[in-house]
Chains A and B, each alone.
Chain A
Amino acid sequence: MRVLRLTWRQRSARIALAVLAVVAVLAVAGGAFAPDDPLAQHPADMLQGPSAAHLLGTDYLGRDVLSRLIAGTGLSIAGALEAVAAAMLLGVIPGVASVWLGRTVEWTTQRAADTLMIMPFTVFAIAVVGALGNGMHQAMLALGVLFAPLYFRVTRAAALGLKQAQYVEAAELMGASRWWILRTHVWGKILPTIAVTTAQTVGQALLVVSSLTFLGLGVQPPAPTWGGMLASDLGYLAQQPWAPLIPGAAIMITVGALNLLADAIRDSGAPTADELGKPPRAEGTAPALVTEDREPLNSPETQGRSANRATPSEDPELPSEDHANAAATVARTHIEQPEEAEHRVTTG
């Protein structure tokens, strides 16, 4: 919890939280602020620019854009949150379980995570919706399943490191139950990591949700969403070339705030997803946060460098490469610990 307190001290975190609070209020009580009915059509003022009556103009059916934007907040945000909640549930529990429940569980969960990582979001979501019916819950379940490996890897990496910690080993020796260890030693430690991942993932999920609603997946047409607004603006670019920028800006500001927040939590000491395992992956987006120390793969990848350092006479089988790399990138040393831990665990 210290991490969260430190986070609050940062100005960028407070700005991000303020923005997110506004978004949350709009999402929950949007109807109260909307100046007009988001579904009411005014055929007389189709495709109008901003005016006193319609602050952000009207769309091709004469509907008030501002009202649709506010009303769309709820569906877009709720969708992203639902996907992330599903991902957390499907990712965190197997992540911890894969460390403590033996090799069969470990192998199975890891291969499952591998498989989900290679599924392209939109194609998978289309398939799910095609098979299970076109609804928000089906679409978000699909996203949740695909985001789950992110949580799985982060949790697993954190838990692996902890399992090797001496106090955990001591507790095990003294006969503490797994459950007790999880509650006492593990949970509080992996929470900040999960918080960073969540802030990132909600942002990514929002982008994917807007892609899906843009395609018409998960929502029925009259209901407004940010992605759906973009889709309907697409047909009238000749008349209103600036119209897509409005929902686009709403998405950008929200995702930007989430990225800022994730950055702030990370700066306060929580190890990032990148450092712990996999970089986050999301449809059409790259994680914004880590500009400096983003290394998608841990050690072996940078080993071009260390390989060059090795003398020709050195036995190429020597495992020094990974370690040399760890030494070379001091910032990443604590990534290596889970790595090493993993080595030891798997060799029993």
Chain B
Amino acid sequence: MTAPATLTGRGPGHAGRGPGLSPAGPAARPRVRESLFRRLTAAPRPLGRLLVVTATVFVLASLLTFALGALSDANPAAAVLGDLATPADIARMEAQFGLDRPLYVQYVTWLGSALSGDLGVSWFTGVPVADSIAQALPVDLSIAGLALLLAVVIGGGAGIAAALHSGGRIDRTVTLVCSVLSTLPPFLIGIVLIVVFAVQFGALPTGGYEPLNAGVGQWLRYAILPAFALSLDAAASIARQLRTSLVGALRENYVTGAEMRGYSARRVLFGHVLRNAAGPALTVLGMSVPVILGGAVVTEKIFNLPGIAQLSLQAAERHDIPVVQGALLVTVAVVLVANVAVNAALAALNPAARRNRGGRARTAPAEGGGA
């Protein structure tokens, strides 16, 4: 009961100021039509609505992916046989891959079988695209997952440190490092890491990959450099965002109230402030998922990892359209799943949402604020 008492002092004042800012006023709360990202990552929406938006975006993305293939003048016969292709060959192979049907039939068939896990077969090797991707995707997912984890740890730590010493030397250092990181091409960090750790010290391999089931230690030896290189950029965004919102949150009255009540600094930070300030940082984290996945492409090349990028780069060179489309579609699906996950995390973090669901509004759980 203590915490609500602290909050009451401030609540009405703010609620009262609301209408002043908005001529529409609370009574005219409209149905908001917002961007996907805000919807996915902003105030928790009912799950059904979130899924509808996600599905719409997925369909649009699949349409775009399919359109790339349709706009392409590549065809399997020309791609495989080159100059040797006769008109008869072209017709035969187009029929074989179903390219002689109307476009909308092709699209519906393609999307339908993609949803059931069948992405077609490669024009060149005849290997099912889904199989190639299933082989390559774990590489990216494990690297990107480790990168996200590192980004949260590094970015979270730096952001908290900077906010606690706001205006001090640590704060300035963090800000400076973040600014420098954002002017660097991300893969340059990877190259520097290779030079330092692999070439100079010889401590870690310069590239390659060991799957996770070969042993965590072995996997980590290969994954740590690429993951670290990938994570720094997201870490910088998270640190910046967390610093900003923490500095704001630390000035709130409830912090003074909690301190007055004799709570330890740690309890105030992790129990109250971080929980409130973590939302925007979590959103940034959600937005860095496509960035990290995209960056993984370049990182794969630097560290010579057998991931999706190598797969789709090779396919792109040969105009192997089914593979290229499959890789793009799967990547988009991963990003969308990550967005839904971030949204769920935000909902879990937000006491108001729990109240909306009829849950109990807990006030001081030490959850580490989503870190």
Cα distance, A222 to B78, chains bound together (Å): 26
Closest B residue, CB atoms, query A255: B183
Report the separation of the CA atoms of residues A25 and B289 in the bound assembly, to the nearest whole angstrom: 37
Instruction: Tell which of B92-100, B112-120, B348-356 binds the partner.
Output: B348-356
Closest to A253 in B: B183
A-B pairs with beta carbons under 8 A, tally: 347
**Complex: chain A residue closest to B313, CB-CB:** A126
Which of A207, A234, A324 contacts B14 (CB under 8 A)?
A324
Nearest neighbor of B59 in chain A, beta-carbon distance = A115
Closest A residue to B327 using CB positions = A123
Q: Are A211 and B185 in contact (CB under 8 A)?
A: yes
| A301–B195 touching, CB < 8 Å | no
Candidates A123, A210, A319; contact of B331 at CB < 8 Å: A123
Binds B, one of A55-63, A65-73, A302-310: A302-310
B248 pairs with A328, CB closer than 8 A = yes
Q: CB-defined interface of B336-361 with A at 8 Å, one 1/0 digit per residue?
A: 10010000001001111001100001
A54 beta carbon closer than 8 Å to chain B: no
CA distance A277 to B276 in the complex (A): 22
CB A217 to nearest CB in B, in angstroms, measures 8
A347 to B33, CA, bound (A): 9
A344 within 8 A of B: yes
Which of A177-185, A265-273, A291-299 sits within the interface? A291-299
Interface string of A239-257 (1 = CB under 8 A from B): 0010010001001100110
B154 within 8 A of A: no
- The answer to whether the Cβ of A32 comes within 8 Å of any Cβ in the partner chain is no
**Minimal Cβ-Cβ distance residue in B for A210:** B185
With A121-B294, A123-B328, A311-B12 as contacts: A283 and B186 at CB distance below 8 Å: yes
> Do most interface residues of chain A lie in helix, strand or loop, or is the interface mixed?
helix
**A78 beta carbon closer than 8 Å to chain B:** no
8 Å CB contacts to B: which residues of A144-199? 153
> In chain A, residues 109-136, which have Cβ atoms closer than 8 Å to a Cβ of chain B?
110-115, 117-124, 126-132, 134
**B204 interface residue (CB < 8 Å to A):** no
B183 contacts across to A, CB distance below 8 A: 203, 251-252, 255-256, 259, 285, 288
25 contacts between A and B (CB under 8 A): A117-B37, A118-B339, A123-B309, A123-B327, A127-B65, A127-B68, A130-B315, A134-B316, A214-B185, A214-B301, A231-B301, A237-B191, A244-B192, A259-B179, A285-B183, A286-B240, A297-B37, A300-B38, A302-B245, A304-B349, A304-B350, A308-B272, A310-B7, A311-B4, A316-B352
Q: A256-B183, A295-B245 are in contact. List 12 more A-B contacts (CB 8 A).
A: A114-B60, A122-B295, A126-B327, A214-B187, A286-B240, A287-B182, A288-B179, A290-B240, A296-B287, A304-B349, A304-B351, A333-B21
Interface residues of A (CB under 8 A from B): 106-107, 110-115, 117-124, 126-132, 134, 153, 203, 207, 210-211, 214-217, 227, 230-231, 233-234, 237-238, 241, 244, 248, 251-252, 255-256, 259, 277-279, 281-288, 290-298, 300-312, 314, 316-324, 326-329, 333, 336, 340, 342-344, 346-347
